[in-house]
């Protein structure tokens, strides 16, 4: 029976658990430092699956030993982003949290695939890789998948077409340095660059970059519904060895000219985690944008880690 552990029973963690259970993907262990909160969330989720007639177990815990045997561990624990705060500012509080969680992952489920959701997700993916000591293929970050969905939605509304007809890709960083890949975004097979003016594309780029902050401004906390669905899609791809292509934060080892750097790139996701990184041909402008994203991520990493843990990083 497949088992998924979610560390962090906040809004995002419980939303992820909900979609894993609704889709009958795995039993769930929900871990949190707050014993009452995690038990309450687990009870509610248990009643949800009972209502649906789905035979899945939800176990609440405050003990990392209960993650033993997990096929996938999702980390959503940490301090959430507040209005007016950048994702990068979270590195000071969340680096230590993620590092300690990952040490427990390496001890209790050394064969698991790890998915990082906590922000700043790109830098924390690097920290998770270092802390677990896992192969780079088994550590990935969720972020650009959300940005790509946002870009897809904005393009669909701009062109007045169904979102199901649109595919979109965001690479680089989950933040202000994200790279909206218009040349690799399509409407029913037609490249969007043939349908949008340069002014339209700049407007879309600006809108997509600001949507996370806009959601926080409007309701007081960050995205939950979309990450819940998106992370569950990644979990499904791993557990069912789907070999689906999704944009995720991956530790590069020569791809796109970078080594030891976490960057959001399209990748094949399967049972071993990141089965293959897809290298797209880039224009000079796209490569410059990707370089800016890499530099920003490296700068964030170096704020949180001692120099010896950053020795593997090599910018293009």
Active site residues: 174
Backbone angles phi, psi at 277, to 5 degrees: -95, 130
Tokens 């595919």 identify what position? 167
Distance CA 200, CA 177 (A): 19
Distance CA 189, CA 199 (A): 22
Q: Are 115 and 72 in contact (CB under 8 A)?
A: yes
Backbone angles phi, psi at 228, to 5 degrees: -60, -45
DSSP 25-44: --EEEEE-S-HHHHHHHHHH
Distance CA 100, CA 266 (A): 28
Cα–Cα nearest to 273, from 242, 312, 230: 242
Neighbours of 194 (CB within 10 A): 8
Distance CA 149, CA 226 (A): 8
Cα–Cα nearest to 307, from 316, 295, 294, 298: 298
The secondary structure of residue 80, as a DSSP letter, is P
* Strand order across the beta sheet in which 186-187 lies: 166-167, 186-187, 190-191
Residue 121 in 3-state DSSP? helix
Cα–Cα nearest to 243, from 226, 266, 260: 266
Residue 273 in 3-state DSSP? strand
């Amino acid at each position: 029976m497949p088992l998924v552990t979610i560390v962090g029973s906040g809004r995002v963690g419980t939303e992820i658990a909900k979609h894993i259970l609704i889709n009958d993907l795995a039993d769930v262990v929900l871990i949190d430092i707050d014993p009452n909160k995690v038990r309450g969330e687990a009870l509610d989720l248990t009643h949800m699956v009972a209502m649906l007639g789905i035979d899945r177990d939800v176990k609440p815990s405050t003990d990392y030993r209960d993650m033993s045997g997990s096929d996938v561990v999702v980390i959503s624990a940490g301090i959430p982003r507040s209005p007016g705060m950048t994702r990068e500012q979270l590195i000071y509080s969340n680096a230590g949290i993620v590092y300690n969680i990952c040490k427990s992952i390496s001890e209790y489920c050394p064969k698991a695939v790890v998915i990082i959701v906590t922000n700043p997700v790109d830098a924390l993916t690097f920290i998770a890789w270092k802390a677990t000591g896992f192969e780079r293929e088994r550590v990935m970050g969720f972020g650009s998948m959300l940005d790509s969905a946002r870009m897809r939605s904005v393009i669909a509304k701009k062109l007045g077409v169904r979102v199901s007809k649109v595919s979109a890709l965001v690479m680089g960083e989950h933040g202000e340095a994200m790279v909206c890949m218009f040349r690799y975004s399509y409407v029913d097979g037609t490249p969007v660059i043939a349908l949008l003016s340069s002014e339209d594309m700049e407007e879309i780029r600006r809108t997509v970059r600001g949507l996370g902050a806009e959601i926080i401004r409007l309701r007081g906390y960050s995205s939950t519904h979309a990450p819940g669905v998106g992370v569950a899609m990644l979990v499904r791809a791993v557990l069912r060895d789907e070999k689906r292509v999704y944009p995720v934060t991956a530790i590069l080892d020569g791809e796109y000219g970078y080594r030891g750097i976490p960057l959001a790139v399209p990748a094949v996701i399967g049972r071993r985690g990141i089965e293959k990184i897809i290298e797209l041909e880039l224009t000079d402008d796209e490569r410059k944008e990707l370089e800016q994203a890499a530099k920003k991520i490296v700068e964030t990493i170096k704020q949180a880690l001692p120099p010896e843990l950053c020795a593997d990083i090599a910018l293009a």
